[in-house]
Amino acid sequence: MSAGTETVLDQVAFDANGLIAAVAQQHDSGEVLMLAWMNRDALRETIETGRACYWSRSRGRLWRKGESSGQTQRVVELRLDCDRDAVLLLVDQTGVACHTGRLSCFYDAVRDGKLVSITEPLVDPDQLYGR
């Protein structure tokens, strides 16, 4: 752990729950893959290891992206916004980001007043999680 990382972390505006929203974007195609959350530990680990690590609100623990599925994210660049309360990760996604087997979690579009799935799974989710 570097002193520099702690200095960066000190400048982050974590919310009342100690979290910050993090958007992952495929670095070359520009596709927005997912939005998840980080606490200070997750953000530190992401900066230090260059692998995306989130905070799972549902499981209440660090979530090293791909730990079960193998679908890891190598961080090419990490950015903060002007308010320092949002993170943008430019990543290189191995496989797919979404637990449904789709590349991106943002697959439902609002069209003509309805939610419409605009992409199909590229991988069988059962294959991702070994069920």
Handedness of CA 102, 103, 105, 108 (dihedral sign): negative
Q: Which pair of tokens denotes residue 57?
A: 């609100």
How many CB atoms are closer than 10 A to CB 16? 5
Q: Is 98 among the annotated ligand-binding positions?
A: yes
Please indicate if the annotation marks 92 as binding a ligand: no
Interface with a second copy (CB under 8 A):
2-5, 7-8, 11, 21, 23, 25, 29-32, 34-35, 47, 77-84, 86, 88, 98-100, 102, 105-110, 112-115, 118
In terms of Cα–Cα distance, which of 62, 55, 56, 47 is closest to 6? 47
53 is in an annotated binding site: no
When the beta carbons of 30 and 130 are compared against a second copy, the nearer one is 30
Residues in the chain: 131
**Pick 62 or 80: Cβ nearer a second copy:** 80
What tokens were used for 53?
A: 């690590």
List, as residue ranges, the binding site.
Answer: 81-83, 85, 98, 105
List, as residue ranges, the binding site for Mg(2+).
Answer: 81, 83, 85
